[in-house]
């Protein structure tokens, strides 16, 4: 019989118990691990469910935006979800992401905040959570990432033709939260580059990051996103210089306008861009008016002072007689040149030349006018500055002596003057280059009519007195005849009554040295100055207003405002684009904006001086506000014009002229031409505040009450929406854990971002 030792039995028991202990530990550990994983899984499931509920909240918010806005600019400022009154719904922590400095937004926001309610979400008939949302309309604000710009820390980007949002003036006069627009634009462009949210905008522009504060109050005028969905693909880039000028396209568009001559306008366009003083086609059939900044031949005047001296004698009976009358003529031929151009001061020297003997129609040159071949002359002009008054000078001065034996002899002497005088050619030349810059052909003095109707009847009466011994006495008689250009730009045909008119012969006197007062019918253009750029640059199609000449109305060019454009020349705006790569998509302002100060920012500082550089007059904040008020009233009634050519159509242009102080249509059009590209009516932006809670309806009442909530998340979403196509995009999505004002260790975002502030 075998016996087992007790000590071995004890060892086996210990081993067995050890294995059992290990197994128990493993079981406990496994149980703990699975519980942790189960809890983590449940938490993940809850998070996923809650995240999905956030998307549901966003979808519902977008659906309600579509329902309330449709294809129109949103009429609301804020609204919130409506549903079940089971608990308070609080979005107050997201205030930093909203432009609540604007009273028009803040008041509706707080009203909607007070009425926000949860909406229960069911799945398969069972409540799985609840969602809430608030939508704040932030459309029509300035894009903080695009508006305004700086060339350096000390200079803003100049406000010119409004081709880029960087030209928008960020002025504290219009933007109350801004203390320094230049510093704001410079730091943004060089340091921050981009603001994702309004909280970024506030924090980065306030102490301790920016000292002193650039933003010194609640945001009221900014959002952080904008987008214009159209790229103006229907317009073709016109070019901006001689090298880039799209002449083929421009010609094609000009051909569509029956009221203008395409070749004529193209010549003017090339003259407008080149920097010389030689008109296009000067050596050919030159019948254009020139936009070159050169002295223009404006008036030619012949002035005569006739002196009569009777020679007395006696007859055989000793009675007094008049043996003869000596006649002398002291005359001068005077020329007037005019440099009416503003915007450019020509440094070249010029001279006016009469290079052919005047032709006396139907007779030999009149004795009283001497040798007219002496009228051939060249005269150097002084340098004339911008907008100079007409300058006159004497081309030739002379005299003649004659004698008449009786009345008929005296009358015959003056009847020789009853023959028209024609100057075959008069030139203005560049004295340095010896090139022709202005020309008048066949300028004719209507001597026949003037002498026969005005001078000869007086001579007959004078002759009767002179040859009467009882009344004979020395006397003088003045006679002036001249021709004045109606519009010196269109002076080439001296034989055309549409270009030149007679002055002086009826005793009214000439207009030498002064602007011609020819009784021109009132038109939209000024009749004392012209504009010329004479630089290799054209900014916008609006500048064609200086090139499309209305030859039926002297001094008038075709205007692009509807009331001044009966021939639809303004439609060229709808086909020619000033942008080489399409219009700017970001930074443009929605013109339906209810925020007057934002719209006014597009106009403040805008030049109104017919393209003068530097601008002599810019729109003030007060003028910009008043003009904005008129525009907003117009857009409310008539909407934004679908085409540039209709901008201003139906508007009270007289009231607008008064608001901006426009003295002529070029200045009035400056209001439109220098702002149109800064607006786009389609893009709208919303700040959507979201809240979602997942849970389980434990008590079966069909609702998720607070004690049944298993997961909570909140988010801020910025949404862009095209009001026409109703397409939308989320341009920023921030979850609740990124929305806290403080982070680990109690540090604030201001403190963290302070480390990245730009160097002072």
**Residue 545 pLDDT:** 74
Cβ neighbors of 401 (< 8 A, separation 6 or more) are 326, 327, 328
CA angle 36, 39, 41 (to 5 degrees): 105
Distance CA 589, CA 585 (A): 10
Element (H, E) at 719: strand 709-722
Query: Beta strand pairing status for 350-354 and 359-360?
Result: unpaired
First to last CA, the chain: 102
Our CA dihedral for 463, 466, 468, 470, rounded to 10 degrees, sits at: 150
Distance CA 677, CA 644 (A): 9
- Is 752's pLDDT higher than 50? no
**Residue 619 pLDDT:** 93
- Is 259's pLDDT higher than 80? no
**Residue 336 pLDDT:** 92
CA–CA distances in Å: residue 61 to residues 131, 689, 733:
10, 9, 14
Residue 238: is it exposed, middle or buried by C-beta count within 10 angstroms (0-12/13-18/19+)?
Answer: buried
**Helix or strand or coil: residue 36?**
helix
**Residue 609 pLDDT:** 67
- Is 421's pLDDT higher than 60? yes
CA angle 594, 599, 604 (to 5 degrees): 150
User: Quick count: other Cβ atoms within 10 Å of Cβ 614?
Assistant: 8
Q: Spell out the domain ranges in the chain.
A: 1-226+680-760, 236-273+535-577, 296-503
pLDDT digits (tens, 9 = 90+) for 167-203: 999 999 999 999 999 999 999 999 888 999 999 899 8
**Residue 749 pLDDT:** 46
pLDDT band at 613 (very low <50, low <70, confident <90, very high): low
- Is 371's pLDDT higher than 80? yes
**Residue 209 is encoded by which pair of tokens?**
């990051």
CA 275 to chain centre: 24
**DSSP state letter for 118:** B
More confident residue, 665 or 342: 342
Region of poorest pLDDT, from 7-21, 56-70, 257-271, 623-637: 7-21
CA 161 to chain centre: 4
SS (H, E, C) 359-407: EECCCCCCHHHCCHHHHCEEEECCCCCCCCCCEEEEEEEEEEEEEECCH
**Residue 121 is encoded by which pair of tokens?**
């979400």
Cβ neighbors of 729 (< 8 A, separation 6 or more) are 719, 720, 721
Average pLDDT of 566-586?
Answer: 75
pLDDT digits (tens, 9 = 90+) for 214-226: 898 899 999 999 9
pLDDT digits (tens, 9 = 90+) for 496-508: 888 898 887 654 5
Average pLDDT of 108-128?
Answer: 90
- Is 577's pLDDT higher than 90? no
**Helix or strand or coil: residue 683?**
strand
User: Quick count: other Cβ atoms within 10 Å of Cβ 626?
Assistant: 20
Average pLDDT of 113-137?
Answer: 91
Residue 14: is it exposed, middle or buried by C-beta count within 10 angstroms (0-12/13-18/19+)?
Answer: exposed
**Residue 344 pLDDT:** 78
pLDDT digits (tens, 9 = 90+) for 531-543: 777 889 888 888 8
**Residue 529 pLDDT:** 76
- Is 485's pLDDT higher than 70? yes
**Mean of per-residue pLDDT scores for the chain:** 84
**Residue 60 pLDDT:** 95
**Residue 699 pLDDT:** 84
More confident residue, 625 or 232: 625
**Residue 563 pLDDT:** 52
């Amino acid at each position: 019989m075998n016996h087992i030792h007790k000590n071995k039995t004890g060892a086996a028991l210990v081993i067995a118990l050890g294995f059992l202990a290990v197994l128990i530990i493993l079981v406990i550990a496994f149980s703990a691990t699975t519980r942790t994983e189960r809890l983590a899984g449940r938490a993940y499931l809850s998070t996923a469910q809650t995240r999905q509920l956030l998307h549901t909240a966003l979808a519902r918010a977008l659906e309600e935006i579509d329902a309330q806005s449709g294809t129109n600019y949103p009429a609301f400022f804020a609204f919130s979800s409506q549903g079940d009154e089971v608990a308070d719904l609080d979005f107050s922590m997201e205030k930093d992401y909203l432009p609540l400095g604007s009273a028009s937004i803040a008041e509706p926001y707080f009203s909607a905040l007070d009425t926000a309610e949860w909406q229960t979400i069911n799945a398969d008939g069972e409540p799985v959570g609840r969602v809430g949302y608030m939508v704040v309309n932030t459309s029509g604000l300035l894009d903080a990432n695009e508006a305004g710009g700086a060339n350096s820390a000390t200079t803003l980007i100049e406000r010119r033709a409004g081709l880029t949002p960087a030209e928008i003036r960020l002025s504290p006069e219009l933007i109350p939260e801004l203390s320094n627009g230049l510093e704001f634009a410079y730091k943004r462009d060089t340091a921050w580059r981009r603001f994702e949210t309004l909280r970024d905008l506030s924090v980065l522009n306030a102490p301790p990051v920016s000292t002193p504060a650039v933003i010194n109050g609640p945001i009221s005028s900014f959002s952080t996103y904008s987008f214009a969905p159209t790229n103006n693909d229907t317009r073709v880039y016109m070019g901006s210089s001689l090298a880039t000028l799209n002449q083929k396209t421009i010609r094609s568009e000009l051909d569509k306008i029956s009221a203008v001559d395409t070749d004529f306008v193209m010549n003017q366009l090339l003259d407008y861009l080149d920097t010389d003083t030689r008109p296009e086609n000067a050596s050919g059939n030159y019948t254009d008016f020139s936009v070159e900044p050169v002295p223009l031949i404006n008036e030619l005047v012949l002035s005569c002072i006739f002196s009569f001296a009777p020679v007395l004698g006696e007859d055989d009976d000793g009675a007094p007689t008049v043996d003869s009358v000596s006649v002398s003529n002291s005359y001068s031929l005077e020329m007037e040149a005019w440099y009416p151009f503003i915007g450019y001061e020509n440094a070249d020297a010029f001279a006016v030349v009469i290079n052919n003997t005047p032709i006396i129609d139907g007779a030999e040159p009149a004795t009283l006018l001497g040798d007219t071949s002496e009228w051939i002359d060249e005269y150097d002009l002084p340098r004339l500055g911008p907008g100079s008054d007409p300058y006159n000078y004497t081309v030739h001065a002379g005299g003649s002596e004659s004698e008449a034996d009786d009345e008929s002899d005296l009358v015959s002497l003056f009847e020789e003057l009853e023959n028209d005088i024609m100057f075959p050619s008069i030139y203005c030349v560049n004295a340095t280059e010896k090139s022709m810059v202005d020309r008048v052909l066949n300028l004719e003095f209507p001597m026949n009519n003037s002498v026969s109707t005005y001078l000869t009847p007086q001579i007959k009466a004078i002759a009767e007195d002179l040859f009467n011994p009882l009344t004979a006495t020395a006397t003088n008689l003045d006679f002036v005849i001249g021709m004045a250009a109606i519009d010196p730009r269109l002076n080439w045909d001296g034989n055309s009554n549409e270009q030149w008119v007679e002055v002086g012969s009826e005793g009214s006197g000439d207009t030498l040295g002064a602007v011609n007062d020819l009784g021109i019918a009132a038109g939209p253009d000024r009749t004392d100055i012209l504009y010329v750029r004479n630089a290799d640059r054209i900014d916008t199609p609006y500048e064609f207003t200086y090139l499309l000449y209305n030859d039926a109305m002297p001094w008038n060019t075709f205007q692009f405002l509807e009331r001044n454009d009966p021939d639809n020349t303004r439609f060229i705006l709808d086909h020619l684009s000033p942008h080489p790569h399409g219009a700017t998509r970001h930074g443009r302002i929605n013109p339906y904006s209810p925020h007057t100060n934002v719209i006014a920012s597009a106009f403040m500082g805008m030049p109104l001086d017919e393209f003068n550089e530097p601008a002599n007059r810019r729109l003030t904040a007060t003028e910009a506000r008043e003009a904005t008020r008129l525009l907003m009233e117009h857009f409310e009634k008539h909407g934004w014009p679908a085409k540039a050519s209709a901008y201003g159509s139906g508007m009270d242009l007289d009231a607008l002229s008064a608001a901006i102080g426009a003295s002529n249509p070029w200045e009035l059009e400056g209001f439109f031409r220098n702002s149109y590209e800064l607006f786009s009516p389609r893009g709208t932006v919303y700040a959507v505040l979201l809240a979602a809670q997942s849970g389980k309806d434990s008590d079966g009442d069909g609702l998720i009450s607070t004690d049944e909530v298993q997961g909570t998340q909140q988010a801020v979403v910025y949404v862009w929406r095209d009001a026409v196509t109703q397409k939308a995009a989320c341009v920023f999505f921030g979850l609740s854990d990124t929305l806290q004002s403080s982070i680990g260790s109690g540090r604030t975002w201001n403190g963290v971002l302070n480390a990245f502030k730009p160097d002072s």
